Amino acid sequence: MVTSVTNFGRSGLYDWLFQRVSAAILTAYTIFIVAYIYTHPGLTYDEWSELFSHFWMRFFSLLTLLSLAGHSWIGLWGVLTDYVTPLQMGSKATFVRISLQLILFTVTVAYTVWGIEILWGI
């Protein structure tokens, strides 16, 4: 079996499973936030700040942030490996694909670190 060094998990099955679990987490978080906003009309900064002062909400937000980062990385990796190929790009396809993956990985890590800093005030 050939293992690619650019994918997230150990195999396509792990990537598929991670995307399904992360999608469930993202869905649960979205439903919770929408329901919270709907049940708190005229939401103020103090109420919003109070919600995010609880450990469970910060943890849920962190889990969602990490799920978003992993989910997007797997999706972008799949799109790049499917559409940036030698048939479309010629001989420079590998260089272009790896360059794009590096840029997207850097952006994903930067946003994830930034989100953690916002959540936990590090």
pLDDT of residue 22: 96
Poorest-confidence range of 7-11, 13-17, 35-39?
7-11
Predicted local distance difference test score (pLDDT) of residue 81: 85
CB 80 within 8 A of CB 101: yes
pTM of the model: 0.82
Phi/psi at 2 (5° precision): -95, 130
